[in-house]
Amino acid sequence: MSDATLSLVILAVTIVLFVWNRLPVGVVAIASALALYFCGLIDLAGLTTGLGDNVIVFIAALFVVSEGLEASGITAWAGRLLTRAAGTGRVRVLGAITILSAILSALITINGAAAALVPVTVAVARHAFMLPSKVLIPLAYACSAGSMLTLSGSPVNVIVNDAARTATGNGFSYFEFGLIGIPLVIVTFAVIAIFGGRLLPDRRSTALPADFSNYLGTVVDHYGLGERVYRLHVGAESSCVGTPVRDAVASDTRDVLPIAAQGGLGAGLVESGHRLQNGDVLVVSGSGQAVDDFARSCELTVEDVAGRHARSGRLIDRDAGVSEVVIPPRSEWIGSKVCPGMVRSEDGLLVMSIRRRNKDVGPRSVELVEGDTMLVHGPWRAIDALADNQQVLVVGSSEQLRRQTVALGHSAPRAGVILVAMIALLASGAVPPVVAGLLAALAMVVSKVITSEQAYRAVSWPTVVLIAALIPMSSAITDSGGAELIAQPIVDLVADRSAYLLLIVLFLLTAILGQFISNAATTLIVIPIALAAAADIGVDPRPILMLVCTAAAAAVLTPIATPANMIVMNPGGYRFGDYWRLGVIVMACWLVIAVLLIPVFWPL
């Protein structure tokens, strides 16, 4: 068996295993690379070449940039804008996602757009009560279409432009790709809107973060924060100075119920016999008007616990937030005396509510026992520290809560500047894309938008390993002659025939190869075949090359066709066979658009 045939056999077995879906896709990809090595189709350097490939490094860098955008609040802000624009209607949601994906992929490449927009798309889908699996494949397809809008949208565009300049002395301008790209984006949206609801799977991914979009409303209802608790600060001029805590609120004072008192400077709760001093805090509950009247009569300063953050009037903002904590067995917090409205001296966290056995303990002080739940409010640094505290169990991730509910944090300007700089580098071509991505990722860490630990966690290593393991397959098929083995009979078929038949056959050849090997490798394989066929039947190479470029972008049938398809696989909970159902229709429409419009814009 020749090397060319053997490489195609290994490719066929790999595809069967992917479709079978009984083994993890990463295991199949690594096994295929090892099979190529042991069959002598690649050497050791070829086996590991994917790990250092520019595409792999670029994708990893884009994951870090995406993490910076999410951590800074830009993702949440963009999600809110997109949510307002999209509403909750399925077609409007898909339209908004398609437009944003196409524009961003034209600016920062298809892979960059997919990595950056996954969290935004998931947020929009949740707001519209749609499963992420119904919108993430459309995201990848829209990115593929959008990559045809500009020269910088994909490495394939650059390869085709160089080939056109070499063959004819006349390449394509930066926005000339948009002549075919705009119709592709429109038809892609139309197909997704019409057929997506039926052909996209109903999958629930375990890789998505928890949804905190309505978290604040949930905890307000659950902890009964509608019942106001107030902290009344005792000043030197207050008539309550020297009064015992138990007598601070007169028995005939209506609608004001004393809860407890706290010593000055954040000290713990004091006994009922303690005489109030300057700096102490009296914690009460009641109606707002009654508390205000009482505070004025006693010259006390009112602090509304449920609206504690006076500067913004919000419980969750860029400076402070809330968290639910549970007291576990053997916790040092057991036995601590607390009440709603007190501030912990250890970390400055304000206790807003306490529940025991799923019931609110009410406006009173209690000693904590195992299983108690508290809602606390305070600076994010103190909230984050609770996650590392072995004495309490935190309900939900404060980091995810902050990212989904707080738009445009303090680091947002820095993250925005880094993003714009990266886009400028990619669009101008001043440096290779991988360099632009690495510079942006490094800037995110150096400027403290994210920490180095967050950067490491941000990279989707299963996606990176899968793509890296499949790169040797592309090299083996190319070097062994497997691609030419498939292509030559097709070229013989179109020899001396219609130019339109050549367009159709070249599209199918390029698109089919592109489902299993990289777009760039497919383009490099097909270009000499296409140019030879164009010369044989006497047509201009430029429309032929533009068709090859369009077909290479139509990598929509499998998750391994493009890194963008892989990026959405885990968040969408997709299987290998979930892509082709809608992808076949998208590809067929692209074929029609290409064959009809390319000769119009670039005459044969």
pLDDT of residue 266: 58
Residue 560 token pair:
């391994």
- CA–CA distance, 285 with 299 (Å, rounded to integer): 17
- Give the residue ranges of DSSP H helices in 281-342: 288-298
CA dihedral 526→532→534→538, nearest 10 degrees, is: 180
- CA–CA distance, 546 with 531 (Å, rounded to integer): 12
Tokens 């947020």 — which residue?
123
CB–CB of 450/75 below 8 Å? Answer: no
- CA–CA distance, 592 with 590 (Å, rounded to integer): 5
- CA–CA distance, 251 with 257 (Å, rounded to integer): 9
CA dihedral 87→92→97→98, nearest 10 degrees, is: -170
* 229-304 is classed CATH 3.30.70.1450: yes
pLDDT tens digits for range 527-573: 777 877 777 777 888 999 999 999 999 989 988 888 889 888 888 88
Tokens 């102490």 — which residue?
280
Amino acid at 365: S
- CA–CA distance, 495 with 486 (Å, rounded to integer): 16
CATH of span 320-405? 3.30.70.1450
Hey, which residues does 377 pair with through a beta bridge? 322, 350
What are residue 518's phi and psi, to 5 degrees?
-60, 150
Which residues of the chain are modeled with pLDDT < 50? Answer: 308-313
528 to each of 472, 481, 532, 533, 541, how far by Cα in Å? 22, 14, 6, 9, 11
Q: State the span(s) of the chain assigned CATH 3.30.70.1450.
A: 229-304, 320-405
- CA–CA distance, 551 with 553 (Å, rounded to integer): 5
H or E stretch at 354: strand 350-356
- Give the residue ranges of DSSP H helices in 72-135: 74-86, 90-127
Residue 579 token pair:
């892509």
CB–CB of 560/28 below 8 Å? Answer: no
pLDDT tens digits for range 256-309: 888 778 876 556 777 777 888 888 888 887 777 888 888 888 889 887 665 543
Hey, which residues does 234 pair with through a beta bridge? 300
Tell me the CB-side half-sphere exposure of residue 220, using CA atoms within 13 A: 12
Residue 313, phi-psi category: left (phi > 0), alpha (psi -120 to 50), beta (remainder): left
- Say whether 352 sits in a helix, a strand or coil: strand
